[in-house]
Amino acid sequence: MTADAAGTSRIEAFSDGVFAIAVTLLILEIRLPHAAAEGRLWNALLALWPSYFAFVFSFFVIVVTWIVHHDLMRLVRATNRPVQLANGCALLYVTFIPFPTAVLAANLGGADLSTAVAFYCGTFVFGSGVFNLLVETIRRGQLFRPEVDPQTISRIRRGFRITFVVYLAATLIALVAPWLALALNVAVRVYLLRIRPRLAPPAPN
Amino acid sequence: MTADAAGTSRIEAFSDGVFAIAVTLLILEIRLPHAAAEGRLWNALLALWPSYFAFVFSFFVIVVTWIVHHDLMRLVRATNRPVQLANGCALLYVTFIPFPTAVLAANLGGADLSTAVAFYCGTFVFGSGVFNLLVETIRRGQLFRPEVDPQTISRIRRGFRITFVVYLAATLIALVAPWLALALNVAVRVYLLRIRPRLAPPAPN
Amino acid sequence: MTADAAGTSRIEAFSDGVFAIAVTLLILEIRLPHAAAEGRLWNALLALWPSYFAFVFSFFVIVVTWIVHHDLMRLVRATNRPVQLANGCALLYVTFIPFPTAVLAANLGGADLSTAVAFYCGTFVFGSGVFNLLVETIRRGQLFRPEVDPQTISRIRRGFRITFVVYLAATLIALVAPWLALALNVAVRVYLLRIRPRLAPPAPN
Amino acid sequence: MTADAAGTSRIEAFSDGVFAIAVTLLILEIRLPHAAAEGRLWNALLALWPSYFAFVFSFFVIVVTWIVHHDLMRLVRATNRPVQLANGCALLYVTFIPFPTAVLAANLGGADLSTAVAFYCGTFVFGSGVFNLLVETIRRGQLFRPEVDPQTISRIRRGFRITFVVYLAATLIALVAPWLALALNVAVRVYLLRIRPRLAPPAPN
């Protein structure tokens, strides 16, 4: 194994760790109110539905982001300083997610719903921006594996730019129709899972 | 190493991270009350027995789930999109466990015991459901290693379906006999640890 | 790589994750009191010395435990069910450590010092017990690598049994001389770091 | 793979875990005040700017530290006891970072700003000290890979000693000009990212 390959494996291990922790910390936001009256535990558990909703939503956001990251890094043969820093920005986004999730859960049933959803969706605009940055940094450094054909790279770049525009639109829509904005966010992730990068068939060895 | 194998190793690394974090976060639920009077620390520590009980119970639930997951993934040669998503659902279950654990600990000595145990056991019904989904997704994608014989797969599937039924029964029993439901949950895990998948002996190389 | 070797690497990855998280969660116990008066931040930071002491002490306890675990697992060629469960018990001990650490920090300057230190030291008696169990389980399953000579195994077993006795003594001493008990705990870890298992020199290949 | 190489990979896995968790725990310090009045969520989110600032600053501090650690460990062929302990001290520093980050966030707009920044910067003096210790320990144990030329080692050692002095200066400056001290901390990290260790070109095989 060359030093370069080792570099890629450690950046993946570090990233996997951050993804795994961010996704697991989400549960810390669900707390049972201590003041629950005796014999009313079911009611207290049901009243937490905004927390469950935000937990499941953000869980799948992070899992989809992990799948996208994982598919992207499989195409990369080595890392350099700019890629390490761009990947750092991507992880900054991932570690930030539990906070807007808590904001969303605390306001799902309240007067600040549209503000909370706009803040939540705005986080994804930032996230999409740094993933676009990551792809461009890999391309500039000519760090895609030689067997990755140029069309695959074009397809990924176009897909990432389209999702950026959709996230931006969803954030604006959130101000007037928050539930529609959330639905749009689900749709864009289904789309993201479909632009699967395909490697050229491995050479027989 | 082919790209497929790399895919399996990263999904295992991510899963291992989630299991490890979920199991370690359990300790955050055990907190010493600040209002403990001087000279009464032993009493305060002893009064936390419901927290210790729930901690140890959930710890072994997660460790057994990790062993089952680990044994299952050893039989898999590659992953695809549906397996990644089904595995995501399995991890959603694992990250959720600290919350019903806290609910259990807070109600072990109280009037809501049966509700708390039913909620706790209900989590395992969901967990068993997603593990059944994971096995079916692997089988549909024909992603079991070629050396895994069909009988092993049948045995695993039957085992997983039986445990699903037992978890469901335990949840119903919890409503009338919560401690019996917990005992049944221990028994089913002992059984789970015994349906060990066996690989065909590796070919000499 | 055979399935067995993969098994060892995943149990190590899972264990490493648990160790890394337990050691990092310790910092969550250090909290600045919100009621600190303006212009008195230095005083507030200095008043937290019991938290710093407990943090550093438990940090090195976990790091030494990780080193011992790491050295032990290097001698193991594969895992079986009993080893997985004994390793689970070892990890239960590791994940529990943040709680007695918090108890220690909260009582270092108070009337319950000896109780808190005894509880803290008692945790290490349990920990040493499960590490003895882990070694015996590996030996019974004949899972030490063939190149590990019997004298090394004897040396490790004797070392682990001696440390168990010392931890037990330290716990009793804590009831009358808590600081001496803590010093004894430092000494036993220095000793533990010295019983380095030595592999036979690798065959030239 | 020899036992030595396995040793290096597990110390890297453990370190990666600690870095990934420390960086992710930072988000737990950002909390929305519960007493926010209805319709004023934007104001409440904006008022948290000191938390965002401290979060982003410490995030990049940890990422840069991870990159430096990662580049350093790539040059190491094996570990011994002193390196394991020196690496433990480096990780103690990393796990401690969330606490001074919380102190910084709580005091960015208050009367204790210079104290908080000095405490924050003082943490980096300690961190730089243990990284100097780690490099010296690796050098004493003659654990650098044979292909690492002596000039690279000299360059790293000189760079680490210079940064130590700058961190010390920044801590003193913080007492009179806290924002200048923070700017100096950014500058030193940009410099650190530039003393890239370069391996001799790998021999053709």
Cβ separation of B38 and C111 shorter than 8 Å?
Answer: yes
Question: Are C108 and C54 contacting, i.e. CB atoms less than 8 angstroms apart?
Answer: yes
- A166-190 exposure pattern, b = at least 16 Cβ within 10 A, e = fewer: bbbebbebbeeebeebbebbeebbe
Cβ separation of C56 and D18 shorter than 8 Å?
Answer: no
A107: chain D residues, CB-CB within 8 Å: 41
**Looking at residue B197, what is its pLDDT?**
60
For C39: left if phi > 0, alpha if psi spans -120 to 50, otherwise beta; the answer is: left
Average confidence (pLDDT) over C126-152: 93
Is the CB of residue D17 less than 8 Å away from at least one CB of chain A?
Answer: yes
Q: How far is C39 from chain D (nearest CA, A)?
A: 6
Is the CB of residue A175 less than 8 Å away from at least one CB of chain D?
Answer: no
B88: chain A residues, CB-CB within 8 Å: 59-60, 63
Cβ separation of B32 and C103 shorter than 8 Å?
Answer: yes
Cβ separation of D91 and C63 shorter than 8 Å?
Answer: yes
- C 37-56: CB under 8 A from D: 38-42, 45, 55-56
In SS3 terms, chain A reads as: CCHHHHHHHHHHHHHHHHHHHHHHHHHHHCCCCCCCCCCCHHHHHHCCHHHHHHHHHHHHHHHHHHHHHHHHHCCECCCCHHHHHHHHHHHHHHHHCHHHHHHHHHHCCCCCHHHHHHHHHHHHHHHHHHHHHHHHHHHHCCCECCCCCHHHHHHHHHHHHHHHHHHHHHHHHHCCCHHHHHHHHHHHHHHHHHCCCCCCCCCCC
Average confidence (pLDDT) over B37-63: 89
Q: How far is A201 from chain D (nearest CA, A)?
A: 25
Mutation target vs A (from B89, B92, B134, B171; most A CBs, 10 A cutoff): B92
- How many angstroms separate the most distant Cα atoms in chain A? 68
Q: Interior CA angle at D190 toward D184 and D191, to 5°?
A: 90
Over chain B, what is the mean pLDDT?
Answer: 86
Q: If we measure between CA atoms, which residue out of C10, C2, C144 comes closest to residue B199? A: C2
| Top-confidence residue, C147 or B167 | B167
A116: chain D residues, CB-CB within 8 Å: 41
- Give dist(CA B157, CA B134) in Å, integer: 10
Entry pTM = 0.88
**Looking at residue A1, what is its pLDDT?**
34
**Looking at residue D80, what is its pLDDT?**
87
| Per-residue pLDDT tens digits for B76-123 | 998 888 998 999 999 999 999 999 999 999 998 888 999 999 999 999
D17: chain C residues, CB-CB within 8 Å: 16-17, 19-21, 24
Q: How far is D176 from chain A (nearest CA, A)?
A: 31
The answer on pLDDT for C80 being more than 80 is yes
The answer on pLDDT for D161 being more than 80 is yes
**Looking at residue A196, what is its pLDDT?**
66
Quick one: closest CA in C to B203, which residue?
C2
Neighbours of A86 (CB within 10 A): 21
D103: chain C residues, CB-CB within 8 Å: 32, 41, 45
Average confidence (pLDDT) over B20-33: 87
**Looking at residue A5, what is its pLDDT?**
46
How does residue C198 score in pLDDT terms, banded at 50, 70 and 90? low
Quick one: closest CA in B to A75, which residue?
B3
Cβ separation of B24 and C25 shorter than 8 Å?
Answer: yes
Quick one: closest CA in D to C204, which residue?
D2
Helix axes D3-25, D81-96, angle to 10 degrees: 10
Is the CB of residue B4 less than 8 Å away from at least one CB of chain A?
Answer: no
In order of B73, C54, C105, the CA distances from C116 in angstroms are 43, 11, 9
Helices (H), B30-149: 41-46, 49-73, 81-96, 98-107, 113-140
**Looking at residue B7, what is its pLDDT?**
54
The answer on pLDDT for B198 being more than 70 is no
Chains that touch B (3 or more CB pairs under 8 A): A, C
- Residue B105's Cβ-count burial label (10 Å; 0-12, 13-18, 19+) is buried
| Top-confidence residue, B196 or D36 | B196
- B 112-171: CB under 8 A from C: none
Q: How far is B196 from chain A (nearest CA, A)?
A: 27
| Top-confidence residue, A181 or D5 | A181
The answer on pLDDT for D61 being more than 50 is yes
Helices (H), chain C: 3-25, 41-46, 49-73, 81-96, 98-107, 113-140, 150-174, 178-194
For chain A, which ranges sit under pLDDT 70?
A: 1-7, 34-38, 195-205
The answer on pLDDT for C57 being more than 50 is yes
Q: C144 by DSSP, 3-state: which?
A: strand
Nearest by CB to residue B21, choosing from A24, A38, A196, is A24
- Give dist(CA A66, CA B11) in Å, integer: 10
**CA B140 distance to own-chain centroid:** 23
C92: chain B residues, CB-CB within 8 Å: 56, 59-60
- C122-161 exposure pattern, b = at least 16 Cβ within 10 A, e = fewer: bbbbebbbbbbbbbebbeebebbeeebeeebbeebeebbe
D38: chain A residues, CB-CB within 8 Å: 110-112
| Top-confidence residue, C74 or A93 | A93
Cβ separation of C24 and D28 shorter than 8 Å?
Answer: no
| Per-residue pLDDT tens digits for B144-155 | 998 888 988 998
Average confidence (pLDDT) over B189-205: 62
Give the ipTM: 0.85
Is the CB of residue A66 less than 8 Å away from at least one CB of chain B?
Answer: yes
D115: chain C residues, CB-CB within 8 Å: 41-42, 45
Cβ separation of C10 and B56 shorter than 8 Å?
Answer: no
Nearest by CB to residue C19, choosing from D14, D22, D119, is D14
C123: chain B residues, CB-CB within 8 Å: none
Nearest by CB to residue B21, choosing from C7, C21, C91, is C21
How does residue D194 score in pLDDT terms, banded at 50, 70 and 90? confident
| Residue-by-residue DSSP string for D4-51 | HHHHHHHHHHHHHHHHHHHHHHGGGG----TTPPTT-HHHHHHTTHHH
> Which residue type, as a one-letter code, is found at position D120?
Y
| Per-residue pLDDT tens digits for D89-140 | 999 999 999 999 999 999 988 889 999 999 999 999 999 999 999 999 999 9
Over chain C, what is the mean pLDDT?
Answer: 86
| Per-residue pLDDT tens digits for A45-66 | 988 999 999 999 999 999 999 9
Is the CB of residue D199 less than 8 Å away from at least one CB of chain A?
Answer: yes
| Top-confidence residue, A154 or C195 | A154
| Residue C168: CA count within 13 A, CB half-sphere | 8
Average confidence (pLDDT) over C57-61: 94
Question: What is the DSSP secondary structure assignment for residue C108, as one 8-state letter?
Answer: T
Over chain D, what is the mean pLDDT?
Answer: 86
Q: How far is B155 from chain A (nearest CA, A)?
A: 30
Question: What is the DSSP secondary structure assignment for residue C39, as one 8-state letter?
Answer: T
Q: How far is D3 from chain C (nearest CA, A)?
A: 7
Cβ separation of A41 and B2 shorter than 8 Å?
Answer: no
The answer on pLDDT for D34 being more than 70 is no
Q: Interior CA angle at A123 toward A119 and A124, to 5°?
A: 125
Tokens linked to B24 = 């370690």
- C3-26 exposure pattern, b = at least 16 Cβ within 10 A, e = fewer: ebebbbbbbbbbbbbbbbbbbbbb
> Which residue type, as a one-letter code, is found at position C54?
A
Average confidence (pLDDT) over B144-172: 92
Chains that touch A (3 or more CB pairs under 8 A): B, D
Q: If we measure between CA atoms, which residue out of D194, D186, D49, D191 comes closest to residue D124? A: D186
Cβ separation of B41 and C103 shorter than 8 Å?
Answer: yes
How does residue C86 score in pLDDT terms, banded at 50, 70 and 90? very high
